[in-house]
C-alpha cells in the first residue's frame, strides 16, 4: 500500500509516483461506467439530453398526487413537455408506450422546480405517471394520445 507524503514547501499531500497506475485504472473504470450508462439510455428522452423546446407544447403540472392533464391529446410529431412540480414532494414524469417501453423519464423534480423535455412520438396511446414508489397508485398517472385527431 502506498504511503501518503506531505510536501513541506507547498503543504500539499500527494501519493507517490507508483500510484499513477492506480489513477489510470480508476479513470478507465469511470469512463467505462459512463459509456455503459449512456448506451443503456438509448431511445429515452431526458431533460438533460433533450433539445430546446420545439413543436407543440404540452403543459404538465405535477402535484401531490396528481398529473394535470390526466388525459392529454397531441398531434403526431415533435412536441415538448413543459413540466412544473407544484407539489410539496419530489415528483417526475415518466412516459411508456403500449408495450411498456420507456420513452420519457425526467429526473426527480424538487417542489417548485420545472423542466422541459422535447420528444418525437409516433401515433399511439401512452401511459404517463410518476415513477417514485407509491406515487402512481396514489393517483399520479394518466394517458397521452398522440394522433392526427389531436388539437
For the stretch 103-118, pLDDT in tens is 999 999 999 999 999 9
Which CATH entry fits the domain spanning 56-146: 3.30.420.40, 2.60.40.420, 3.40.30.10, 3.40.50.150?
2.60.40.420
pTM over 0.85: no
Using alpha carbons, select from 65, 33, 62, 32 the residue that is nearest to residue 138.
Answer: 65
Whole-angstrom distance, CA of residue 39 vs CA of residue 6: 41
Domain assignments of the chain as residue spans, ordered by start = 5-40, 56-146
What digits encode the pLDDT tens for the residues 75-93?
A: 767 889 999 999 999 999 9
Taking all residues of the chain, what is their mean pLDDT, rounded to a whole number?
75
- Give the CB-side neighbour count of residue 135, counting CA atoms within 13 A: 24
CA separation for the pair 68, 62 (Å, rounded): 7
What does the radius of gyration of the chain's CA atoms come to, in whole angstroms? 22
Amino acid at each position: 500500500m502506498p504511503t501518503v507524503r506531505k510536501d513541506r514547501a507547498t503543504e500539499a499531500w500527494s501519493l507517490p509516483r507508483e500510484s499513477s497506475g492506480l489513477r489510470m485504472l480508476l479513470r478507465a473504470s469511470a469512463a467505462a461506467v459512463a459509456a455503459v450508462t449512456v448506451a443503456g439510455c438509448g431511445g429515452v428522452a431526458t431533460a438533460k439530453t433533450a433539445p430546446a423546446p420545439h413543436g407543440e407544447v404540452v403543459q404538465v403540472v405535477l402535484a401531490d398526487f396528481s398529473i394535470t392533464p390526466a388525459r392529454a391529446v397531441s398531434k403526431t410529431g415533435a412536441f415538448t413537455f413543459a413540466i412544473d412540480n407544484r407539489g410539496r414532494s419530489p415528483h417526475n414524469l415518466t412516459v411508456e408506450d403500449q408495450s411498456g417501453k420507456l420513452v420519457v423519464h425526467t429526473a426527480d423534480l424538487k417542489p417548485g422546480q420545472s423542466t422541459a423535455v422535447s420528444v418525437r412520438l409516433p401515433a399511439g396511446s401512452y401511459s404517463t405517471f410518476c415513477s417514485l414508489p407509491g406515487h402512481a397508485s396514489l393517483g399520479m398517472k394518466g394517458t397521452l394520445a398522440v394522433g392526427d385527431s389531436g388539437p
